[in-house]
A and B are shown apart, each in its own frame.
Chain A
């Protein structure tokens, strides 16, 4: 069974440029998460989707970050314009629907490493 797929794995851009990350979750997983991970730190939640609905985006910097999950499957995370401080790894994860005893098990992709110059 395929795991969570993310692309691109690596992206280098200059500041003020836009960037987008794509995530394909595990088939049948209704819940999708985007995390940001800075070097040496644990992942920080940016946004969580239940199907198409963003149920928690309180940590998403909405002035420059946006996300969508059309049709409740694939998701994209966009940054426009990027700043130097956005350099980090962006992780996507999926799980069974929240509220189940298995909802604590997240399956992560390998991440997209962003470098802003």
Chain B
């Protein structure tokens, strides 16, 4: 299983763009990159998933370079409600998929 490494915490201010980078050096050819968001006292919530290049949805963008050994979650114009823990996962598209969560990045958005 591909191990992921991401910063333990980040601070930002309302209205700023936040970029959280995750490294996954031993990602396999068929693996996808998935990001989750978790608020206190709630289960994680799926944000975005990608394989390569760029993926964008109504919540975030995901940038994946050609070598796919890292990925960057971009949150445009964050608000206080974006304060949460963000998890990067590498998901194997096979029966052995375990969806291993790491420690995540604690994002604190300040007014």
Query: Does A pair with B?
Result: yes
- Residues of chain A whose beta carbon lies under 8 Å from any beta carbon of chain B: 4, 33, 35, 41-45, 48, 50, 55-56, 91, 93, 98-101, 103-111, 113
CB-CB nearest in chain A for B106 = A40
A109 and B42 alpha carbons, distance in the complex (Å) = 8
CB contacts (< 8 Å) of A45 on chain B: these are 98-100
Measured between alpha carbons, how far is A106 from B102 in the docked complex, in Å? 15
CA distance A93 to B36 in the complex (A): 13
CB < 8 Å A-B pair total: 65
Residue ranges of B at the interface with A (Cβ–Cβ < 8 Å): 32, 34, 36, 41-46, 49, 85, 87, 89, 91, 93-104
- B94 CB, min distance to chain A CBs, angstroms: 6
**Other-chain contact of B98, A4, A56, A111 (Cβ < 8 Å):** A56
Contact, CB under 8 Å: B43 / A99: no
Residues of A within 8 A of B43 (CB): 4, 91, 93, 108-111
Bound CA–CA A110/B43 (angstroms): 5
Taking the closest CB of chain B, its distance from the CB of A22, in whole angstroms, is 15
When distances are taken between beta carbons in the complex, the residues of chain A under 8 Å from B46 are 105-107
Of all chain A residues, which has the CB nearest B97?
A: A98
Counting chain B CB atoms within 10 Å of each CB, the highest count among A4, A50, A111 belongs to A111
Cα-based distance from A48 to B91 in the complex (angstroms): 14
CB-defined A-B contacts under 8 Å, sample of 17:
A33-B99, A42-B85, A42-B102, A50-B95, A55-B95, A56-B96, A93-B43, A98-B97, A99-B93, A101-B32, A103-B91, A103-B93, A105-B46, A108-B42, A109-B43, A110-B43, A111-B42
